[in-house]
């Protein structure tokens, strides 16, 4: 396998370059567009060299877009705050509920435990709208439609199964003997859980939390169905941009850049755990 000819190395190099270009180009291009004025964006052929401007970002952050016709309000910062709030709270709730449950599933084989775990897992693969559409009608009756509580509740459908299955695997990897030894020393169940199991499964819990955050942040359909403009996260908000009049392409690009930066940064930070998390522990990275 090692003796590669020069020709082969060149071909490999070209193939890799093409791969990198294809997957990186959209991100680079949108990043460039976000620093351009509408005039440079609309120029044909597209410009590679241009005078960068921060106007798009200032318009988004201040929420005021100055146009010839007057000032236009942009609610993008609101969307961004919603995304942060919804994702952080959902993951926190999911961790609070999911980690103890994962521990129970890993340590105690009790009646129905597999059934619960599998129901959760199988709905990870079920169509989202199957559950969402009836929920919209229920939510309207319950007064949960377009509330943060309702959304956070629904977000548990993404976060909880993920956390349950990944963290469970980590708990199962801890030898039960360590915990028995600690119990024999006279410590309570809770102390064992807090002092032994939690720290040992710590990296797994962190990874599951990060991944759940990314999934919650990237979710689109839940908020599209259940939230109206003032509660919408960036994924839905940015889409509304493209149809609303007056907002320019540079601002849309800047909004996209601001919206994808948090997940990309987290992913790069946590890339070690991604393989395991994405495959729900089926493939160790």
Partner 1 sequence: MTAATIQRNRPSGFRISKRVLPYLLSLPALLVCIGILIPFFTSVVYSFQRYRLSQPWARQFNWGDNYISFFTDPKFWNTLQVSLLYAGITVVLELLLGLGIAMLLQKRSTLNNFISIMLLMPLMTAPALAALMWKLMTNPGFGVLSYLASLIGLQDFRWASSPSTALLTVVLVDIWVYTPFIMILLLAGLRSLPTQPFEAAALDGVPRSFVFFRITLPMLTPYILTATLFRLLDSIQQFDIIYAMTQGGPGDTLTVFQVEAYLNFFQSTNVGRSAALMIILWAITYFLSNIFIKNWLRLRERARGQA
Window 110 to 169, contacts with partner 1 (CB under 8 A)? 110, 113, 116-123, 125-135, 137-138, 153, 156-157, 160, 164, 169
Q: Least distance (Å) from partner 1 to the CB of residue 218?
A: 4
Interacting span for partner 1 (CB under 8 A) from 49-57, 58-66, 201-209, 256-264: 256-264
Q: Least distance (Å) from partner 1 to the CB of residue 110?
A: 5
Among 16, 21, 178, 229, binds partner 1 (CB under 8 A): 16
| Closest to 221 measured CA to CA, from 92, 90, 127 | 127
Q: Which is nearer to partner 1, 71 or 126 (CB)?
A: 126
Within 160-219, which residues bind partner 1 (CB under 8 A)?
Answer: 160, 164, 169, 172-173, 180, 183-184, 189, 214, 217-219
Q: Least distance (Å) from partner 1 to the CB of residue 97?
A: 4
Q: Examine residue 269 and tell whether it contacts partner 1 (CB under 8 A).
A: no
Within 28-47, which residues bind partner 1 (CB under 8 A)?
Answer: 29-30, 33, 41-46
Q: Which is nearer to partner 1, 71 or 256 (CB)?
A: 256
Would you state the structure tokens that stand for residue 209, as one six-digit string?
């939390």
According to DSSP, residue 195 is labeled I
Torsion of CA 204, 220, 229, 35, to 10 degrees: 90
Total residues contacting partner 1 by CB under 8 A comes to 101
According to DSSP, residue 46 is labeled P
Return the residue matching tokens 């910062």. Answer: 77
| Closest to 49 measured CA to CA, from 62, 59, 36, 58 | 36
Among 10, 20, 54, 191, binds partner 1 (CB under 8 A): 20
Biggest CA pair distance of the chain: 76
By the 8 A CB rule, do 205 and 168 touch?
no
Would you state the structure tokens that stand for residue 141, as one six-digit string?
């009756």
By the 8 A CB rule, do 116 and 51 touch?
no
């Amino acid at each position: 396998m090692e003796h590669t000819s020069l020709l082969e190395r060149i071909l490999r190099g070209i193939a890799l370059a093409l791969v990198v270009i294809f997957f990186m180009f959209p991100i680079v291009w949108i990043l460039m567009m976000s620093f351009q004025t509408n005039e440079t964006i609309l120029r044909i052929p597209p410009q590679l060299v241009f005078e960068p401007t921060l106007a798009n970002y200032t318009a988004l952050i201040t929420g005021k877009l100055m146009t010839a016709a007057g000032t236009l309000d942009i609610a993008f910062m609101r969307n961004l705050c919603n995304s942060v709030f919804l994702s952080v709270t959902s993951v926190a709730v999911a961790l609070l509920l999911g980690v103890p449950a994962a521990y129970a599933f890993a340590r105690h084989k009790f009646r129905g435990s597999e059934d619960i775990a599998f129901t959760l897992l199988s709905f990870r693969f079920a169509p989202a709208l199957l559950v969402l559409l009836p929920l919209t009608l229920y939510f309207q009756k319950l007064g949960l439609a377009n509330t943060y509580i309702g959304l956070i509740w629904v977000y548990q459908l993404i976060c909880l199964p993920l956390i349950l299955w990944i963290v469970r695997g980590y708990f199962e990897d801890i030898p039960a003997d360590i915990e028995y030894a600690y119990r024999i020393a006279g410590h309570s169940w809770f102390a064992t859980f807090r002092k032994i199991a939690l720290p040992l499964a710590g990296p797994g819990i962190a990874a599951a939390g990060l991944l759940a955050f990314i999934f919650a942040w990237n979710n689109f359909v839940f908020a599209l169905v259940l939230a109206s403009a003032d509660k919408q996260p960036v994924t839905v908000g940015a889409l509304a941009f493209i149809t609303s009049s007056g907002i320019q392409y540079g601002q849309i690009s800047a909004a996209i850049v601001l919206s994808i930066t948090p997940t990309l940064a987290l992913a790069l930070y946590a890339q070690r755990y991604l393989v395991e998390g994405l495959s729900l522990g089926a493939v160790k990275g």
